[in-house]
Amino acid sequence: MSSTKFALRNLYLNLYREWVRFCVFISPRKATYLTAGTVLYSEVSSKILCYAQACKTYAWSPNVDGKQFQTSSYLPDLFFRSIKDSYSIAYSPSLLLKNRILAFPDSISLERENRTRLESFPLVLVSKNSSIYVLRNPSKYSKTILGRVFVVGGSSNWYHLLFEILPKLYLVDKHFGEQPQNIIITRELMNFTNFAAAINLFSSYHNLIVAASCEILWLEEAIIIDDFNIAPLNVKPDLTLHPSDWKINNFMLNEFAIQLRSRLLSKDPPSTKNKKLFLARKNYSNRRYNQDSLIKISREFGFQICNLENYTLSEQFDIISNAQYLVGPPGSAWSSLIFSEKPLKCLSWVPHGRFQFSSLYSTISKILGHDMNFFYSGINTSQIKQDPFFVDPNTFRYYLSKLLMP
């Protein structure tokens, strides 16, 4: 999505949210939306199957100049859960129950994250003051889905697909694959060739119910899956992130990574031989930086420029699984770390400020056995991290040469 479209979309949603809030305040009896309460999944669901036992998890801060610290936390038993008689939007993690109660995953912390994460337009809206509003009569606009259906989420982001949606599809296939299951997927995901190819790896045997991003579904029985990969999203602006905010079940991530590689390996044997790759962003990316100057330096060190978006899923696997060094800006391209079984040496950067201890890919790389290094560059205080930033070329050159040292 271009920066202009992104801004216009947010402006429209903000205006609509405040209009809803105004209508509820002026005339609650006639308003299309009404205020709602919230509840955790664990409080309103029935446990079906425990797919992972409680364990200790670890997270690592970005490794800067050889300095990296580790934190540990605890993940409880993880379950498949059943919730009956609910309304859903396919991409949203929340379910609307009777009596205007909104159920959401236990992994979401409303103390640290903005309530907009629970939003599922047009079913659920969240105003600027964090009030939650839901449709008064969702049954008037909903499509009925009878029987049992698995809800796996639908964010159209490469990281969320590879580390949240696909693992849940794998778990459905692993534990309930003896017969075809109904699984809800957003139409937007299936419109992207690589997304659709990835989804097909774990769902070709099952029945996909493809829903539009604004389509309201009434689910007779929704089967939800506890998250084993917990990462903060839409964090409140006054909070600074720390490694302890990331909780990933190391065993489950490695199990899924093995399964993903095995299914990709059977599609196309590796053939690409480029060992040094700069993971570039396309020019129209919202998250702009002085890419051209860093590309020039990378080429001096023998790096090939690689836009992963230009390749098919099997080609991306081929490219990354044969690489030795990866360099590039922070972002979802680093999700491709999961494609390589061999240890990779990697370099990226993090800005000072709120995100300097952002531990997503430093933790993922550690779990998967890669050596990922960072340096600090610039300051970014933007909540959505869309602001342009500048990476000092001399600093980049220094750390790139350091990465290549024997």
Q: Which domains does the chain have, with CATH numbers?
A: 35-230 (no CATH), 268-403 (3.40.50)
Three-state DSSP state, 198 = helix
Are 212 and 190 in contact by the 8 Å Cβ rule? The answer is: no
Across 16-25, 249-258, 347-356, 388-397, the highest mean pLDDT is recorded for 249-258
With H, G, I as helix, E, B as strand and everything else as coil, classify residue 71: strand
DSSP-derived 3-state class of residue 275 = coil
Give the separation between CA 58 and CA 314, rounded to whole angstroms.
31
Whether residue 302 contacts residue 278, with contact meaning beta carbons closer than 8 Å, is answered with: no
Q: Which of 225, 200, 320, 220 is nearest to 270 (CA)?
A: 320
Q: How many CB atoms lie within 10 A of CB 383?
A: 12
SS3 160: helix
Out of 108-117, 258-267, 302-311, the most confident range is 302-311
Largest CA distance in the chain: 72
Query: What span, in angstroms and rounded, lies between the C-alpha atoms of 223 and 225?
Result: 7
Angstrom distances, CA of residue 336 to CA of 29, 59, 151, 317, 332:
51, 19, 25, 8, 8
Query: Can you tell me the distance from the alpha carbon of 18 to that of 130, in angstroms, rounded to the nearest whole number?
Result: 11
- 186's tokens: 């957003």
pLDDT tier at 258, thresholds 50, 70, 90: very high
Mean pLDDT of 195-203: 95
Nearest 5°: CA angle at 379, between 377 and 382?
Answer: 135
Q: What is the mean pLDDT of residues 91-116?
A: 90
DSSP-based three-state secondary structure for 403: helix
Residue 268 has pLDDT above 80, yes or no: no
pLDDT in tens, 355-397: 566 788 999 999 999 999 999 886 554 444 445 678 899 999 9
What CA–CA distance (Å, rounded) separates 361 from 68? Answer: 13
Is residue 3 predicted with pLDDT exceeding 60?
no
Q: Please give the pLDDT value at position 385.
A: 47
Q: What is the mean pLDDT of residues 162-190?
A: 95
In this structure, what token pair is assigned to residue 174? 């692993």
Provide the pLDDT confidence category of residue 20 given band limits of 50, 70 and 90: low
Task: Write the CA distances from 225 to 88, 149, 180, integer angstroms.
Answer: 15, 12, 17
Backbone angles phi, psi at 95, to 5 degrees: -125, 135
> Sorting pLDDT into bands at 50, 70 and 90, what band is 2?
very low
Ramachandran class of 353: left when φ > 0, alpha when ψ lies in -120 to 50, beta otherwise: left
Residue pair 158/335 in contact (Cβ under 8 Å)? The answer is yes
Angle at 252 between CA 118 and CA 114, to 5 degrees: 20
The whole-number average pLDDT for the span 176-183 is 96
The per-residue pLDDT for range 211-245, each reduced to its tens digit, is 998 899 999 999 999 999 988 877 777 777 777 88
Q: Is 389 exposed, middle or buried (0-12, 13-18, 19+ CB in 10 A)?
A: middle
Average the pLDDT over 237-266 and give the result: 87
Q: What is the pTM of this model?
A: 0.89
**Count of beta carbons in the 10 Å neighbourhood of residue 398:** 12
Distance CA 345, CA 83 (A): 44
Residue 30 has pLDDT above 60, yes or no: yes
Q: Which of 16-20, 92-96, 180-184 has the lowest mean pLDDT?
A: 16-20
What are the DSSP calls for 381-397, one per residue?
A: --SS--S-B---HHHHH
Residues 143-157 have a mean pLDDT of 91
Q: Token digits for 201? A: 């790896």
Provide the mean pLDDT of the chain.
87
Query: According to the model, what pLDDT value does residue 233 have?
Result: 79
Neighbouring CB atoms inside 10 A of 10's CB total: 11
Mean pLDDT value of segment 117-130: 84
Residue 401 phi/psi, 5-degree rounding, is -65, -35
